Amino acid sequence: MKLTTLLILFFTVNTYATGYGQEKINLRVKKTEISDVLRSIEKQTSYRFLYNDKLEDIREKVSINVKDADITDVLNLLLDDTRLLYQLMNDNLIVIKEDPNAPPRLPDVPIRGKVTGEGNAPLAGASVQVKNTTIGTTTDNSGNFSLTVPDANVTLVISSIGYEDQEIPLGGRTEITVALVVSVKLQDAVVVIGYGTASKRDLTGSIAKVDGKEVADKPNTNPLSSLQSKVAGLSVVNNAVPGSQPDIRIRGTVSMGSVSPLYVVDGIFTDNIDYLNPNDIESIEILKDPSSLAIFGVKGASGVIAISTKKAKSGQVNITLSSNYGTKTLVDKIQLANGDDFRTIFAMEAANGLNDPDPTIGNKNTDFLNNEMHLWTGNTDWIDEVTRTASFTNTNLSVGAATEKNKFTLGLGYTLDQGLVKHVDYKRFTLSFSDEFKLASFLKVGVNFIGSNEKLPYGGSGQLYDARKTLPIIEAGTKPFYLRDPYQTVFDSANYNLYSGTPVIQNTEHNPMLVIENNWNKVINDRLRGVGNVFAEFTFLKNFNFKATIYKDLAFVDNRTYTPVYYAYNPAASNPANQAYLYNPLSSVNTKESSQNVTQQDYILNYKRTFGDHAVAATLGTTWYEIKYMDNSSLSKQRDGDQPIPDDERFWYASNGFATPSNPTSSQWEYATVSFLGRLLYNYKSKYFLTGSYRKDYASNINDVYEKKAQNFWAVGAAWELTREGFMSNQKLFDFLKLKASIGVLGNFNTGTIGGYYPFYPGVNATQATFGVNTVSVFENKYLPDPNLKWETVHAKEIGVEFNMFRNRFHGEINYYDKRTKDLLALLKPVGVLPTLTNSGEISNKGFEFTAGWDQNINKDLRISLTGNLTTYSNEVISLNYEIPADPQYANQTEAGKPISYFYGYVVEGLYQSYADILASPVVAISGPPVQPGDFKYKDIGGPNKTGPDGVIDENDQTMIGNPTPDFSYGLGLSIKYKKFDFALDLGGVYGNEIYRYWSTSEQKNSVYNYPKYFLDAWNGPGTSNWVPIVDAQHLTNRVPSTFGIEDGSFVRIRNIGVGYNFSVEKAKIKNGRVYLNVQNLKTWKNNLGYSPEYGGSATSFGIDAGSAESALPRVITVGFSVTF
Amino acid sequence: MKYMKKNIIFCVAICGIAIIALTGCKKFLDRKPLTSTLDDYAQGGLEPQALGLYGALRNSAGDPYIGDGFQSIPWIGINGFRSDDQEIVSDPGAAQWHATYDNFNYTKDDWASGVYWDKHYLLIGNCNTILQIADSLGLTDPSSEVNIAEAKWFRALSYWDLVRNYGEIPKIDFRIYKASDANIPKSNEAAILALIESDLQYATTHLPLNWPAKFAGRLTSGAAKALLAKVYVWQKKWAPALALCEEVINSNEYALIKPYWSIWKTQNELSKESVFEIQAAYAPGDGGQLWSWFGTAQGVRGNGADGWDLGWGWNTPTANLVNAYEAGDPRKAATILFSGQPDDAANGGYGKTLPPYTNALYWNKKVYTSDAERAASGDLHGAYFMNCRLIRYADVILTAAEAANETNQGTKAETYLEMIRERARDGNNTILPKVVFANQAQMRTAIKAERRVEFGCEFERFWDLVRWGDAQSVLGGLGYQPKHHWYPLPSGAISSNPNLVQNPDYP
């Protein structure tokens, strides 16, 4: 408070004592000189003013608007910010004079200047203030300002959100240029918190913010893939198939159902962000703790990833063009037998089979060796055959402009992402538009829209999985055959280049190239998505703000697959004239159209006010959500003897005139939720912080009694900023230190997929029965409803500390999280009973998160920042009313007392070297033929009733042999800026988890598959091996999951390494330019045989290496540029 | 003032929205699944549910795939491969099946046994739900009683499959409301057999003798009696078995059709020979919802090059079976296709010659279809339209013969046996001479031999051997031991039911 005001108050009290103030004054003036105002008061009332006409301040222009006001109030307003005082005398006489204690008035100095921000772009809306005064202004759209200061030696304070404040002593200058530096103080960042934004400083939880720039120039179609190893608590397992989503979990595996986080894109809830172009993203916030998540209620338990798309910055007209191109190559290929290896190992297997109690299979294999093997002359690496050097490209054009009233953006983008498997091409076109218009000072309206058209790739990625199985003795290339045209339309006969079929020993599999080359260009899989909203925002009663938003999210998929008639050849055909044969003799068209229609409405009332030392921000609202899905599919298949459906896109429809559509089916579901929410953020002196949030969610699909449809979620949090305490002012260690804690109950909207999302109703399947020639519609029960079903809840706690040290150069954050999932929702599939969704059991997830960063401007040319994060995980299923048994092929099992989805199986101690060895060892009672030398010797661990070794190897000897959840994951980032160059390096990894390799261990083979290379070292007589067992598919005891399939999942990876050069060209009007080179996945240090060490999956089955394309992570080398005009 | 007015409008508007939100919420949330539920049917009577059991028995096309437990490869493997006359060898990839079933290396976690158990109990669950609904509604009208009898018959069939294979199993004869209701301990075989008997006894009296064409092949009292007779014979309850068989025989609803090979031709589906069939259909445009794996799983496994890709070739005859026929018995040519030989047009072939396959020398001819009918079905490769002849009239007659012989009615046994041989002979008196009763042992041997060839490749042989006590002597060489009568309980069933104890032979 200023001195003048105090004096005025003093006089005011006096005047009341003398009976002033009976006369009421009405005044409404704009930019009028004080002397004129005084004259107008004299006209209205009996007051008279006495003053010296030479007083400078009496010429000041003021604006006043009062009604029925007392004279003192009017004068207080009128003379505020001047050096004038008033004195009330008798007879309504008022004397106005200069304050003798006021500083002497200096001549005013007009100054001008320009403020620039990041990349030297003009910064609009920056505040320019004379230090320790209220004199100030803001910059205009070009970053310019002009200001009249009392003295050319004052100091200006320039500030803008997201930038470091800067103090500029004028030192006599009247024109200045100021370049602001981006703030590195994380606590100053403004973060999205769900139904609003807040300064990170005011919060009590853990929200990590990632700038859109981090994802924009990376060669990933899904922006979250670029966040691997970057954020503590966020685990990302990549999926190498274009158009697929990575497996994302926040702070562990909290459920047996849905574990992926909720995505909130500019306010709308979604579970799929494939439609987003990474270039359109302004920022990504990862919300992890209860106090941040409770406002999301039943959808908050798995964490929230809030994405804000780019909006125009005021005062700028920017046109940005960016483009990059990358090449993708397969690294870390899995090692399989080549043709000669295969012949050797197969001969071993055939010979081994002849020693079996029943040599039937061995005889057949020997027959093949003797009679047919020589006809299969290939030496093919099928992985090489199906893969390629693929490319990635992403090009974007965006326009943003803003005036005081209107801000708008336009964006266009094109992405091509090729898979490593041939012909697997993903394309995406995006367009975005946003506009925000200020209709009046109290009313703002806006619209946002993002549209995307994705060309989803041909599903050929599965052929990489199949290539692992395909025998290398099959010739890779094609052979010409003179054949009848299967369509008999163009030619009667012609030369055709045919791929080979598979030999009889592999009759359940196929030649992957035969399938790819005949099918890849016969698929249409278009996904259209439009996500948009319109909103209106009102400001009223000074502290209130009300925002109503209506969102729409529409998705359509048109999926049509044509299967042509095509030939293959069989090199071993008994009659060489019959070598070529119709591999696929009937053409068909499969169609499926689906649509999804989401409507969301948010009505949010905000209240924000500061009362002295108390600051309050309150939010109250309701949100309505409705989702409707439906699809239709059909099959039109050529009848034998009919003309094939021609290979022409014109006919790729259900009713194509050639075949009759049959088997039309549809599926459809809808559900709706209504939620009421409230939140209070409070702080006292910005020192003590309290937050509370509450949400009540009603869902249409949880119960058929209205009152029971609702469930409550809440959280409270507290924080203490110690560095604002007096007792901390003398310490130099911490520049900032904040302790925080929060607790709450969050929900998981996890319905499984039974019952059309209404697990409460006893669902049935409509089906048919046949009686002779008659068909009758009938039904079967589908699942059991559980009348007491409710949403599972996560009871979460967090405690943490954030601090800055070394002149804010070092930032650190440590959090401890503890999440207990209760009323676990699980789809029980008890054997012999219909499936039922029920609440059963508890899961615990605990761990620490460490984040640290050092950021320093060494000198004006060099800036270095180093960041690191580490997250520990501890997962345990506390209780489960039943056990999810291990699949006999996949080792994952979930039971109480163990980590979720842990690996279960036998412990291999070595191989039986001889019959004497077998006799001297515990009896093997695992189902299958009697063990023979060369078979696994499993460890005798337990007997019935969990007693110790009992001399028998049976299921009681299975135990925990691994855990797919790591002990910890970590990331390290280094960024150096030197003059116009920048360099960035990101490392990441996990430690302490296991992988279960399924291929060539417990995989059930339906015919002979190719062998892994290491089978060359298989047991082949006493002493030849004590690890790789005898090659013989008949030895079933070797196929049970065991430690033979367990591999160390720890790895370190150079995730990204990149250099860039930044420039600007005045002549070409390029404000900002950048060219860069980036390498993703340069090198991975791993300990397993698979393509990569990363294997995602579902909550109860992950960490399995099935040798599929998802894990074949490419190295991507990208070059790119971006220019802003 | 203007601003004040605006503020009031805003406040009123927000209160209005709040009121609408609070009141409209209930209506907005009032939604149901967009497809039928049991509640939508319960008032419509039992019929759609009871007929659903016929659909379920075959349905391998959609969840919950109950048909996989009855006419698909788990059923074929468990009831077929273990006999000395059927095996799975044609496919090297089926090596594990061969080891498990042909050579009695039973595994607790093999897929087939798990599916078999699961699907049978699911069908039992559906039957129990129907019976509980009927009970709760107090339905006693004749049409509902037929539905109840059908539910009981299907429940009996399911338990019959299970009790033979696993021995002691949980007896679930009540509706399951929550999954844990099913977690009950095992009952002994006698209790299961008693339930089967009482269910079938009800069915014998409440099912009609026949049905109009609209419901061709629907369950009849004859089907109930035939199945009950088999259950009796299993327990050596000879007299009641004989009585039931004779009731079926004397009903004049059934006949042995000639010639023998024609039984498996499409035109003879639901013929006079048929007591109960799992019905399937597959034709262009019908949506493929009614198809079955039964014929396709067993068809000749050729390759696309030679036009003999008729199926997977699972369940092929052994040399043992080939050698079991009496000289000249046409049933040999009607049952077996020989690799490299003509398909024997005189005995159900179509004038084609099989390629000289070595992966299997013999193939099951009872699932052999003509090129023309496969073409008409829209798919040359498979016999998805083929019905599974689950109970044939010949079985009733041979059961009667056996029961008569065991009750010392040798002449009667001779008569019934001769009916079968006479049909097989089909007028050619130079073959299959009549077996004249000499003594019980001689007749018993003759009936055993007759059953073997009459039901070649038809899933009776293994159970006959077990029932006769001949399994050890006949199958011992393949690895059979007495404990192999019973399969270990599937490990999945044990882990989902804490009260279930593994078969003690498989610790």
| Partner A contacted by B505 (CB < 8 A) | no
Q: E strands, A456-587, where?
A: 479-484, 493-498, 523-540, 544-563, 566-569, 580-584
Here the tokens at position A1086 are 């791993």
Q: Measured between CB atoms, which of A663, A831, A834 is closest to B492?
A: A831
Here the tokens at position A1026 are 């004590």
User: Cis bond leading into B504, ω under 30°?
Assistant: no
Mean pLDDT value of segment A628-633: 93
Mean pLDDT value of segment B427-443: 95
CA distance B122 to chain A (A): 5
**Phi, psi torsion values for A518, nearest 5 degrees:** -90, -10
A381: left (phi over 0), alpha (psi -120 to 50) or beta: beta
ipTM of the complex: 0.90
Mean pLDDT value of segment A938-950: 83
pLDDT in tens, A677-733: 999 999 998 899 999 999 999 999 888 788 888 999 999 999 999 988 888 888 888
CA distance B329 to chain A (A): 29
pLDDT in tens, B371-398: 888 888 877 788 999 999 999 999 999 9
CA distance A949 to chain B (A): 15
Chain-centroid distance, C-alpha B462: 15
| Partner B contacted by A370 (CB < 8 A) | no
> Which residues on chain B are in Cβ contact (under 8 Å) with A367?
358
Kind plus residue range of the DSSP H or E element containing A37: helix A34-44
Kind plus residue range of the DSSP H or E element containing B377: helix B371-377
* pLDDT score of A17 more than 70: no
- B353 vs A102, residue with greater confidence: B353
What single-letter DSSP state applies at residue B371?
H
Instruction: Say if the Cβ atoms of B379 and A574 lie within 8 Å.
Output: no
Please say whether the beta carbons of A493 and A462 come within 8 A.
no
| Partner A contacted by B470 (CB < 8 A) | no
Residue whose token pair is 């090198």: A1083
First to last CA, chain A: 46
| Partner B contacted by A505 (CB < 8 A) | yes
Q: Measured between CB atoms, which of A506, A660, A700 is closest to B31?
A: A700
pLDDT of residue A754: 60
Report A:510-539 residues touching B (Cβ under 8 A). 538
pLDDT of residue B39: 76
Span of A207-221, A748-762, B230-244 with lowest mean pLDDT: A748-762
Q: Rounded mean pLDDT of chain B? A: 91
Please say whether the beta carbons of B114 and B100 come within 8 A.
no
Cα–Cα distance, B477 to A929 (Å, whole number): 14
> Which residues on chain A are in Cβ contact (under 8 Å) with B21?
603, 622, 624, 674, 676
Report B:298-317 residues touching A (Cβ under 8 A). 301, 303-306
pLDDT in tens, A1040-1051: 899 999 999 999
Instruction: Say if the Cβ atoms of B479 and A358 lie within 8 Å.
Output: yes
Cα–Cα distance, B110 to B91 (Å, whole number): 18
Mean pLDDT value of segment B436-447: 96
Cα–Cα distance, A641 to B379 (Å, whole number): 10
pLDDT in tens, A1013-1065: 999 999 999 999 999 999 998 888 898 899 999 999 999 999 999 999 998 88
What single-letter DSSP state applies at residue A907?
P
Q: Rounded mean pLDDT of chain A? A: 87
Please say whether the beta carbons of A574 and B356 come within 8 A.
yes
- A202 vs A552, residue with greater confidence: A552
Mean pLDDT value of segment A937-947: 84
| Partner A contacted by B117 (CB < 8 A) | yes
Q: Measured between CB atoms, which of B34, B49, B488 is closest to A668?
A: B34
pLDDT of residue A185: 58
Nearest CA among A108, A106, A126 for reference residue A177: A126
Cα–Cα distance, A606 to B24 (Å, whole number): 23
| Partner A contacted by B280 (CB < 8 A) | yes
Here the tokens at position A848 are 């620490």
Amino acid code (one letter) for A369: L
- pTM for this one? 0.82
User: Cis bond leading into B259, ω under 30°?
Assistant: yes
CA B82, B85, B86, B92 torsion-angle sign: positive
Amino acid code (one letter) for A858: I
For residue A282, with 0-12 CB atoms within 10 Å meaning exposed, 13-18 middle and 19 or more buried, which class applies?
middle
> Which residues on chain A are in Cβ contact (under 8 Å) with B359?
364, 504
pLDDT in tens, B45-86: 788 889 999 999 998 887 788 999 999 999 999 999 999 999
Angle between helices A339-354 and A360-371 (to 10 degrees): 140
| Partner A contacted by B285 (CB < 8 A) | yes
Nearest CA among A655, A840, A757 for reference residue B32: A757
- Tally Cβ neighbours within 10 Å of residue A69: 18
Report B:350-389 residues touching A (Cβ under 8 A). 355-356, 358-359, 374-375, 378-381
| Partner A contacted by B54 (CB < 8 A) | yes
Nearest CA among A476, A638, A483, A642 for reference residue A563: A638
Nearest CA among A843, A846, A894 for reference residue A873: A846
pLDDT of residue A105: 60
CA distance A1033 to chain B (A): 7
Q: Measured between CB atoms, which of A605, A706, A763 is closest to B37?
A: A763
Q: Measured between CB atoms, which of A630, A672, A778 is closest to B55?
A: A778
pLDDT of residue B312: 87
Instruction: Say if the Cβ atoms of A541 and B7 lie within 8 Å.
Output: yes
Closest-CA residue of chain B to A769: B55
Here the tokens at position B196 are 């089967």
| Partner B contacted by A626 (CB < 8 A) | yes
Cα–Cα distance, A576 to A592 (Å, whole number): 41
Closest-CA residue of chain A to B111: A888
pLDDT of residue B243: 97
Amino acid code (one letter) for A722: L
DSSP string across A1050-1110: -EEEEEEEEEEEEEEETTTTEEEEEEEEEEEEEEEEE-SSSS-S---EETTEESEE---GG
> Which residues on chain A are in Cβ contact (under 8 Å) with B302?
none
Chain-centroid distance, C-alpha B412: 30
Please say whether the beta carbons of B434 and B55 come within 8 A.
no
Closest-CA residue of chain A to B375: A640
| Partner B contacted by A662 (CB < 8 A) | yes
pLDDT of residue B60: 83
pLDDT of residue A2: 42
Chain-centroid distance, C-alpha A1110: 17
Nearest CA among A831, A569, A1066, A1006 for reference residue B314: A1006
Instruction: Say if the Cβ atoms of A662 and B506 lie within 8 Å.
Output: no
Span of A363-367, A420-424, A435-439 with lowest mean pLDDT: A363-367
Q: Measured between CB atoms, which of B56, B287, B375 is closest to A662?
A: B287
Q: Measured between CB atoms, which of B17, B217, B284 is closest to A662?
A: B284
Cα–Cα distance, B36 to A907 (Å, whole number): 49
Please say whether the beta carbons of A192 and A283 come within 8 A.
yes
Cα–Cα distance, B189 to A322 (Å, whole number): 76
pLDDT of residue A16: 41
| Partner B contacted by A933 (CB < 8 A) | no
Here the tokens at position B432 are 């299959």
Mean pLDDT value of segment A895-910: 93
Mean pLDDT value of segment A764-778: 85
Instruction: Say if the Cβ atoms of A758 and B7 lie within 8 Å.
Output: no
Cα–Cα distance, B211 to A774 (Å, whole number): 13
> Which of A701, A781, A782 is the best residue to mutate to test the B interface, defined by the most B CB atoms within 10 Å of its own CB?
A781
pLDDT confidence bin for A10, thresholds 50/70/90: very low
Instruction: Say if the Cβ atoms of A830 and B182 lie within 8 Å.
Output: yes
CA A897, A899, A904, A909 torsion-angle sign: negative
What percentage of chain A carries pLDDT values higher than 70? 95
Here the tokens at position A107 are 């001549």
Instruction: Say if the Cβ atoms of B21 and A699 lie within 8 Å.
Output: no
Nearest CA among B329, B345, B327, B324 for reference residue B422: B329
Amino acid code (one letter) for A905: G
| Partner B contacted by A14 (CB < 8 A) | no
| Partner B contacted by A578 (CB < 8 A) | yes
Instruction: Say if the Cβ atoms of B99 and A663 lie within 8 Å.
Output: no
Which stretch, A882-886, A890-894, B319-323, has highest mean pLDDT? B319-323
| Partner A contacted by B20 (CB < 8 A) | no
Q: Measured between CB atoms, which of A581, A928, A1006 is closest to B105?
A: A928
* pLDDT score of B482 more than 70: yes
Residue whose token pair is 């007028």: B427
> Which residues on chain B are in Cβ contact (under 8 Å) with A833?
121-122, 125, 176, 179, 182, 496
Instruction: Say if the Cβ atoms of A1033 and B25 lie within 8 Å.
Output: no
List beta partners, residue B353.
Answer: B342
Cα–Cα distance, B218 to A363 (Å, whole number): 46
Report B:390-429 residues touching A (Cβ under 8 A). none
Instruction: Say if the Cβ atoms of B506 and A927 lie within 8 Å.
Output: yes
Cα–Cα distance, A418 to A515 (Å, whole number): 18
